[in-house]
Structure 1
Amino acid sequence: MRNGDVWAFEDGGEIRGDVNGSGVVLGVDGGATSTVCVCLPLLALLSAHKLPDPLPVLARAVSGCSNHNSVGESAARNTLEQVMAEALSKSGSNRSAVRAVCLGVSGVNSSTDQERILKWIRDIFPIHVKLYVRNDAVAALASGTMGKLHGCVLIAGTGCIAYGFAEDGREARAAGAGPVLGDWGSGYGIAAQALTAVIRSHDGRGIQTMLTNSILKTLGLSSPDELIGWTYADPSWARIAALVPEVVSCAEAGDQIANEILVNAVQELALCVKAVVQRLCLCGEDGNSSFPVVMVGGVLEANKSWDIGKEVIKYIQTSYPAVHPIKPQVEPAIGAALLAWNYLMKESEEKCHR
């Protein structure tokens, strides 16, 4: 059932717009922490021999988590609809102006997941709108390659995943199954290990760590015993992952436990990339071919002396010295919009050749 309130800007839900005009494309990046939608004019993309710089973003909207595994189907569906409606409203467009939508959403791990989300949005847009649903890692990769699906992306934010494409279209992934199933290089994984270390230190199973005072001070708690109530009052992934900066600070200050947690995270993240590279043979038969690795997510952002992203690349380079790390110049939502445009153009070309 469509949420009519979010479409009130269309004058009571009436859909206007010329379906024969140039229109717009929407790109959605739905993560475990937030969801972003951008609206790009199709004409500007069609009329340029190369992508315009900067890209003409008509509007941008932000909402909460849209990972159905984290917040449930109803909340995820409402978030996606709300963020797309807000972006269209800000752009001065409406649903009839939309030509294509690409949603890159975390938690999309199978064709069943794709069909679930497609079912949610088919009822939202007119029949002429092309709809594409991929894992959010695909949009993140496109943000680094400006729409080309080749190479590998490593996302390490609240969650983590490595996802790659070979030149022939084959794809592979590693991790991304959530914290319960071993995404220990993620922000959640790092912070959960830190919380565990504090409890173990407190009850005598582990050694003392700076993490205790740092985390308690940040959370406004007086004792490690209070961490139990704090953790289970709201065990959402993003809330736990927000403690990563405390782990990094303690590691930079020389704390052994914090340092071990980050070293383990680096190894886990590098292993994810290596698994994808090996399965797709991105490095070539001799292992020396260059390939891009797009680095996305708060965990990989440079810190002071402890730069997790830099350490991950160094670890990967021990096996693949020709790896080409890329820090995207545009956000994943724009990558999703470029994918929507590419998919639309590809379908148009195929139709012309029939």
Structure 2
Amino acid sequence: MVNDFGESMLFLAIDGGGTKTEAVVADRGGRCLGRAVFGGSNPNFVSFEAAAHAVAAAVRSALEAASASPGRIAKAACCIPGMKKHREELSRLLEDELGLASVLYDSDMDSTLFGALGAKEGIAVLAGTGSFAMGVNEHGDNFVVGGWGPIIGDPGSGYAVSASALRAAALAHEGRGPNTLISDKLKRHYGVTDIAQLKSVISADNTGSLTYLVREAACEGDGVAKKLVFEAGEQLAELAQAVIKRLDMDDARYKVVLTGGMTVFGDPLLSAFTASLRRECPSITIGTPFGPPSAGALMLAYRAAGVPWSDDLLSSLKMTLL
């Protein structure tokens, strides 16, 4: 497909998750012109009303930062998990209320994959509020592991680590587990004086962002917190291993990348991930992310418009989005 969009036309990425929503406006050459971040938009973790507010605010702010009107957007790519059942309402918001003429509704898995790799082949492991691994091999075969959501479980995710932290504090309170610094941090976070009071204050929409407490406790030497980080790294490696084996990708030609908000744990998480992955998949290359999922969403918008992923475009994306 050969596009007929002029050089003055712009492209819009909308990347959503459990804790944040990012909108990016870029030109045809991959140069970021406007960017905005607001609250979560995954309706598995927030209400649709809150999600819609975050999406609208992010899009409007990104357009304002780029000094652009909705009419200049040649193609927008919207990649928000959990939105399938709200597709009609989301379409009304973006196309009718915000005035976007052409919107591609795609998977957050695709945007994460291409954003992490900056290429058409490889494996991306997302460790954000949720978790999944997705790979595409040289034949175009793809496979996804995880992404089940908070009820069935997203191993190694921020939500899973947060739930484990709450569980560890409960066990310590009852004398069924070791004492942990996480307990006092949770009490301060929720404004309670006793761990038992957590029963009345925690809910699905206020537990996904407790990972910073686990990180603090781990940095302070807490054994329970360090164990949670280690286990998360191993669980994320298991997701990658399943994809690698299914697609026969244990080869140095392919790259696997760990990306998402959980990477703030740094070396403890990455070391556990790497060691576990290497035991089962010794040949695959372990790399660093090309860019955020918003870069992948822009790549999807370009592809839908017939704009090729040239080296110059990808280089520009990487320089202006990091």
Q: TM-score, normalised by structure 2?
A: 0.83
**Residue 102 (structure 1) aligns with:** 77
**Residue 294 (structure 2) aligns with:** 333
The one-letter amino acid paired with 1:64 is G
**Residue 244 (structure 1) aligns with:** 211
Q: Structure 1 residue 169: deviation in Å?
A: 2.9
Query: Is 2:34 the counterpart of 1:67?
Result: no
Q: Structure 1 residue 98: deviation in Å?
A: 0.9
**Residue 321 (structure 1) aligns with:** 282
Distance 1:310 1:114, change over 3 A: farther
The one-letter amino acid paired with 1:314 is A
| Maintained 8 Å contact 1:139/1:335 | yes
**Residue 141 (structure 1) aligns with:** 113
Distance 2:89 2:35 in 1: 25
Distance 1:220 1:73 in 2: 27
CA RMSD of aligned residues (A): 2.8
Q: Structure 1 residue 33: deviation in Å?
A: 0.6
Instruction: Provide Cα deviations, 1:58-114, integer angstroms capped at 9, x if missing partner.
Output: 111122211122223343234323322222222121122111111221225x6x676
Larger radius of gyration: 1
The one-letter amino acid paired with 1:121 is L
**Residue 11 (structure 2) aligns with:** 25
Q: Structure 1 residue 243: deviation in Å?
A: 2.3
Query: Is 2:55 the counterpart of 1:80?
Result: yes
| Runs of 4+ deviating beyond 6 Å | 112-116
| Maintained 8 Å contact 1:294/1:327 | yes
Distance 1:152 1:295 in 2: 9
Distance 2:282 2:89 in 1: 40
Q: TM-score, normalised by structure 1?
A: 0.76
Distance 1:124 1:65 in 2: 20
Which residues of 2 match residues 204-219 of structure 1 at below 5 A? 204-219=175-190
Q: Structure 1 residue 190: deviation in Å?
A: 0.8
Distance 1:170 1:134 in 2: 18
1:270 aligned residue (220, 233, 237): 237
Distance 1:298 1:73 in 2: 22
Which residues of 2 match residues 191-210 of structure 1 at below 5 A? 191-210=162-181
| Maintained 8 Å contact 2:56/2:98 | no
Instruction: Provide Cα deviations, 1:222-243, integer angstroms capped at 9, x if missing partner.
Output: 22122223314xx31xx42332
- State, as a whole percentage, how many aligned pairs show the same letter: 26
Distance 1:94 1:220 in 2: 44
| Maintained 8 Å contact 1:63/1:83 | yes
Distance 1:119 1:170 in 2: 34
Q: Structure 1 residue 37: deviation in Å?
A: 0.6
Q: Structure 1 residue 197: deviation in Å?
A: 1.4
The one-letter amino acid paired with 1:37 is A
Instruction: Provide Cα deviations, 1:270-292, integer angstroms capped at 9, x if missing partner.
Output: 11111222222222xxxx34311
2:197 aligned residue (226, 247, 253): 226
1:164 aligned counterpart, secondary structure: strand
| Maintained 8 Å contact 2:134/2:144 | yes
Distance 1:314 1:94, change over 3 A: same
Query: Is 2:225 the counterpart of 1:258?
Result: yes
Instruction: Provide Cα deviations, 1:177-200, integer angstroms capped at 9, x if missing partner.
Output: 112112131111112111111112
| Maintained 8 Å contact 2:122/2:255 | yes
Count of aligned positions: 304
| Maintained 8 Å contact 2:117/2:124 | no
Question: What 5-or-longer segments of structure 2 have no aligned partner?
Answer: 309-322
Distance 1:126 1:204, change over 3 A: closer
**Residue 14 (structure 1) aligns with:** none
Distance 1:242 1:116 in 2: 27
